[in-house]
Amino acid sequence: MKFSIKRDNFRNAISKVERILSKNPSLPILNNILIKTDKNRLLIASTNLEIAVKTYAKAKIEKQGGITIPVRMINGFLGNIKDEVVEGEVVKDEFQIKTKKHQIKIKGMSLDDYPIIPENPKENYLKIEGEVFSENIFGVLTSVARGDTRQELNGINMVFKKNEIKIAATDGYRLSEAIVKIDKEKINEEYFVFIENTPSLIVPALTFSEIQKNLTEGEFELMIKQNQLFAQNNNSRIISKLINGKYIDYEQILPKKYSIEIKINKTELLDALKIASLVSRDNNNEIEISNTKNKKELEIKSFSGETGENISKISANISGDDFKVLFNSSYLIDGLNATWEEDVVIKLNQEKSPALVKGLNKQEKENKKFSYVIMPIIKS
């Protein structure tokens, strides 16, 4: 293999595949990225055996071939040079890369020893706008469990319908749900056959994170086949195993009606919550929110025997019953940050009931495409 490429293009391509790598002492080649020529461009890829990411970069190819190399070495070299163009060449088991001023030789491993990464199917079920999907993923990733013994909660649930996809995640303390509308003209007939047999499935959170980072430009194609998810656009491809299991039926535990509504400016509420969290950090992030007597202000309190106490009052439009509820300030902040609107509505019942957070547009209409639900802290 021999090629030349712009340094920035090379670095950007490597950054797209390196995130899924993890140290694997039992299989050292998984610590490497794959670099291979693909006709008149360069293919860069990585896998951890659960997820694989491929991306392509424009390059001038002089000789076909490939190698796998440690990502730390190539990143260190490219990050410390100023040259605009670099040249790469494989000589035996070494990857030699040089510029006008610098040169380095990196010990590599053969492509033959690298795990086979499946090719993306030529057909697809549907096409989705990458930017729209990415916005929805951002909010849903907030609620994914981390390292839960219930493997399904470490992933994101996808429910397929004829004109939309519902994606949701929960860690037992909060829940995020987003609805992605599908353009009927972007759907393959096989999609309808698929959803009859597979109305829902669970995707690893890391897979969604990679889709968010790599497939935001234009449309991307989605395909599920042989218990694997395939997603791709013109520049990048993602292949992922699915998580076996059945996701919890979270809709059954959500309130159908709410007796309290708080309409409030999101930025002002975030500022007050961040101040409260300075105190509540030493008290398991516990804060209290309640209405004032005239119901034109939301009162936020936090207390710690070691740190001190805080009280903030913010203008709000409150309707319904009086209330006093405890929340984890970090979870509430996460939910507010997952909304895109300037104002939000928080819906409550009483202290033991989940609260719903939704964005409000300028006409005070709720965003029906994203919901964030948070459980209150219940004192025994």
Its domain, for residue 316, covers 255-374
Same domain, 259 and 346: yes
List the beta strands (DSSP E) in 99-233. Answer: 103-107, 126-129, 155-160, 164-170, 174-181, 200-204, 219-225, 228-232
Above pLDDT 90, what percent of the chain? 85
Distance (Å, rounded) from C-alpha 269 to C-alpha 342? 11
Which of 251, 272, 295 is the last residue before a domain boundary? 251
Which of 53, 82, 113 is the last residue before a domain boundary? 113
Same domain, 243 and 131: yes
pLDDT of residue 8: 96
Q: At residue 226, does pLDDT exceed 90?
A: no
Q: What confidence tens digit (pLDDT) does each residue in 312-322 have? A: 999 999 999 99
Same domain, 190 and 145: yes
120 lies in a domain?
A: no
379 lies in a domain?
A: no
pLDDT of residue 295: 87
What is the Cβ-side half-sphere exposure of residue 5, based on CA atoms within 13 angstroms? 28
Which of 251, 285, 316 is the last residue before a domain boundary? 251
For 198, phi then psi, to 5°, come to -135, 80
328 lies in a domain?
A: yes
Same domain, 158 and 135: yes
Same domain, 79 and 162: no
Same domain, 244 and 286: no
Q: How confident is the model at residue 194 (pLDDT cuts 50, 70, 90)?
A: very high
Same domain, 168 and 216: yes
121 lies in a domain?
A: no
Total residue length of the chain: 380
Same domain, 107 and 10: yes
Q: Which of 234, 331, 335, 348 lies closest to 286, judged by CA?
A: 331
Q: What confidence tens digit (pLDDT) does each residue in 79-105 have? A: 999 999 999 999 999 999 999 999 999
315 lies in a domain?
A: yes
- Buried b / exposed e along 99-117 (16+ C-beta atoms within 10 A): beeeebebebbebeebeeb
Q: What confidence tens digit (pLDDT) does each residue in 127-168 have? A: 999 998 998 899 999 999 998 889 999 999 999 999 999 999
13 lies in a domain?
A: yes
48 lies in a domain?
A: yes
Same domain, 292 and 320: yes
Q: How confident is the model at residue 307 (pLDDT cuts 50, 70, 90)?
A: confident
Tell me whether strands 41-47 and 260-265 are parallel, antiparallel or unpaired.
Answer: unpaired
Distance (Å, rounded) from C-alpha 125 to C-alpha 192? 9
If you average pLDDT over every residue of the chain, what do you get?
A: 94
Tell me whether strands 164-170 and 174-181 are parallel, antiparallel or unpaired.
Answer: antiparallel
- Buried b / exposed e along 246-281 (16+ C-beta atoms within 10 A): ebbebeeeeeeebebebebebeebeebbebbbebbb
- Three-class SS of residue 259? coil
Number of domains in the chain: 3
CATH code assigned at 267: 3.10.150.10
Q: What confidence tens digit (pLDDT) does each residue in 16-28 have? A: 999 999 887 788 9
Same domain, 182 and 260: no
Q: Kindly give, in sequence order, each residue whose CB lies less than 8 Å from that of residue 284, ignoring residues fewer than 6 positions away.
A: 328, 377
118 lies in a domain?
A: no
Tokens encoding 74: 């190539």
- Three-class SS of residue 108? coil
Same domain, 78 and 104: yes
What is the Cβ-side half-sphere exposure of residue 121, based on CA atoms within 13 angstroms? 14
**Cβ atoms 366, 343 nearer than 8 A:** no
Same domain, 136 and 26: no
pLDDT of residue 268: 98
Distance (Å, rounded) from C-alpha 19 to C-alpha 53? 9
